[in-house]
Structure 1
């Protein structure tokens, strides 16, 4: 399904449906990306690339529950996303797991209770196992009152010791809709620099 990938290094955005990946993609690239009120609008990887630098941002389809989408189809999307990441791991400079700051902890706890590993936690550890530098972009933070507490709880669920402030390369509180993404840009700058890709820093300046 995910064929015809351009031959580039990339930053991938992964996460559940409706957490704001496409809005974030638009914020990162300055390019209008199709977003929708309905979950599951993104069914194929959206690549936005710069040929001269052999680099691109990729918005991967959202996984998890989607109203009006069969369980079989949802599982297929998740399998496709996992396979894409696995097959291209050596070209992925950074994996960005996008979560909804207001809902993420509750969703994680609800699924943990059912004896399964929640998608967000699973994806975070999966990227790390593949040795892909990983940033959790905690989106919609403009809707969160107890900011520090919420971010500490999220760190705890991801197996990172709070306080969250010591994980600035890994945890980036943002509000994509409001254009407030500097913590993520900062984390990306750090990871690009660590991988000796300072030529890409111009794509993540605010």
Structure 2
């Protein structure tokens, strides 16, 4: 562990990760750059009971298989324990209203053997959508501490800080070297073993990531990348199909977990003013009554309410005529 422990916030885009970062760090933030790229690096300080830690907000990503430069930063850091930005603890921020998608990234991080906590955010949104999550059952299924939080209003922040403090006090690494959610394909177990030996790795899934993405890791030398290329070519390593197969296998496990921890309930109704009006105006019964009432008002406006301005206009014209008649000299026009 570093002298000042480093906590990484990781999560899908729009999971509330950056909002949570602001809640934890407040105004004690600074901005830099990640190695080799111009993407902003957001850091902040957080005081816990037993530690003062640095919190790092990593770019949002759906998976460790990146599709953009921002997403690539996540695997570049987490695949390189020698990196200054390599965290002592990872807090995965998950959107409770879309838990299935968010757990894909979580399972990948867990398989890397990283110490992980799960901050379950947006439970209020999930409840509005009729989704109820059993947090205790989820923690048991994931073998991970799960902390319900609301990044927008700050609820659950003290519980999250306590969980981070306790995780840092427990120095035993959360290792799953043989794969917790997913074991690399048996047909390529030999390749994983060779990569672990060549690069002095201890984690199977990290070696699997080297096989998939190592040629793009900024921290590997040309010679190391050449070695990786030769190893993958010798074993005919089909990256695309294996990645797709891995994702399918993960979602099969995630679906099983979701079935045990998530229930659908009657969604809460928080309707806007427009939606409330629409419920009346577009109703199959009340809508017609409102329509007939509007037609009645239009009729009244034309034939009844219009009588008052018409009388006013007639009176005005008569008064104006009398004014002219009384003030103009006798003539044919006046007569």
Instruction: Name the TM tier (shorter chain).
Output: 0.5 to 0.7
In 2, Cα distance between equivalents of 1:11 and 1:25: 11
In structure 2, what is the equivalent of residue 38 of structure 1?
Answer: none
Q: Over the residues paired in the alignment, what is the CA RMSD in angstroms?
A: 3.7
In structure 2, what is the equivalent of residue 59 of structure 1?
Answer: 57
1:104–1:121 CA distance, 2 compared to 1 (3 A): closer
In 1, Cα distance between equivalents of 2:103 and 2:95: 13
- For residues 16-165 of structure 1, the aligned pairs below 5 Å read 16-31=12-27, 43-49=39-45, 55-64=53-62, 74-88=67-81, 91-105=86-100, 108=101, 120-145=102-127, 150-152=132-134, 163-164=137-138
Bigger helix share: 2
Structure 1 alignment gaps of length 5 or more? 1-5, 35-42, 66-72, 109-119, 156-161, 197-206
**Number of aligned positions between the proteins:** 153
Task: Please identify the structure whose Cα radius of gyration is greater.
Answer: 2
In 2, Cα distance between equivalents of 1:28 and 1:63: 21
TM-score, length of structure 2 as denominator length: 0.38
User: CA-to-partner distance for each residue in 1:128-164, whole Å, 9 max, x for gaps?
Assistant: 23322111111112223289x6434xx8xxxxxx623
| Structure with more relative contact order (C-alpha pairs < 8 Å, separation 6 or more) | 1
Contact 1:135/1:171 (8 A) holds in 2: yes
In structure 1, what is the equivalent of residue 162 of structure 2?
Answer: 186
- Structure 1 residue 49: Cα displacement: 4.2
